[in-house]
Amino acid sequence: MSKEVRSIAYGDQEIPFVLDRRARKTLAINVLPDGGLEVVAPEQTTYEKIEEVLLRRMPWIQRQKADFGRLEQPWTARSYLSGETHWYRGRQYRLKVELGLAQGVKLSRGRLLVSTHTPGRPERTKELVDSWRRQRAKVVFAERLEAVLPLFEDQQAVRPTSTIIRQLSKRWGSMTRDGRLILNLDLLNASTPAIDYVLIHELCHRVEHHHGRAFWELLERKLPDWRVRKDMLETTVRSST
């Protein structure tokens, strides 16, 4: 099984999608709740065939994107009441707040389930969700960091000295001179390819500290499709925060 980020030209648009090749017999097209596009294809299917199917199904894809676009607007202020949607790893989940003996948060069948002693107190629901998001961010970012480190020949040389998760207003991440990796908590809203882009971008700064020509050449070698991933991040996640 392998995943890659590709894009297809349709009219005057360049539409990015995640191509997931698997040991299967049929090709499936999935439009995700955030408007992202995923193609699950048999391992031996040619890209020409995939492009042919995508173009043929594009009217349906556009209708699905429009339907999802009619969901709750992403810039709506969070009320932390049942029914609103919250983002997690490139997907939207419907919030459901329930009375429970044990307090906690979990994902189940497209829902973000919050169990609390006081379901009528949105401020308590927010505290529980915020705590859960920070815990998940630590796990997810650590897992993705280990997944992308092998792209670099000398992993120890680029490995961050520590990882700090903060609520940032303008940046997805940064790398300090002494190797501390700082990541925006809202990066948890992004899909895996977008999270990986930010991590690889920042790891490149362990080699090239500034955004000079050498940095962009290094990023291009490590992640040739970085522009597509960056566009996915900015267009689908920035508007959700």
Q: Give the residue extent of every domain in the chain.
A: 2-69, 85-132, 138-240
Element (H, E) at 131: helix 122-148
Residue 5 has pLDDT above 60, yes or no: yes
N residues, the chain: 241
What percentage of residues in the chain have a pLDDT greater than 70?
A: 90
Dihedrals phi, psi of 142, to nearest 5 degrees: -65, -40
Q: Name which residue leads in pLDDT, 204 or 79.
A: 204
What is the token pair recorded at 121? Answer: 């107190």
CB 90 within 8 A of CB 5: no
| Cβ contacts of 151 within 8 Å, gap of 6 or more | 200, 203, 222, 223
Q: Which CATH architecture has domain 138-240?
A: 2-Layer Sandwich (3.30)
Query: Per-residue confidence at 71, pLDDT binned at 50, 70, 90?
Result: very low
What percentage of residues in the chain have a pLDDT greater than 90?
A: 61
Q: Report yes or no on whether pTM surpasses 0.75.
A: no
pLDDT (tens digit per residue) in 142-151:
999 999 999 9
Average pLDDT (208-230) is: 92
| Amino acid of residue 73 | Q
Q: Give the CA dihedral 87, 137, 156, 226, nearest 10 degrees.
A: 10
141 half-sphere exposure, CB direction, 13 A CA radius: 26
Angstrom distance (rounded) from CA 97 to CA 125: 8
What is the token pair recorded at 151? Answer: 């792209």
Angstrom distance (rounded) from CA 90 to CA 87: 7
Residue 32 has pLDDT above 90, yes or no: no
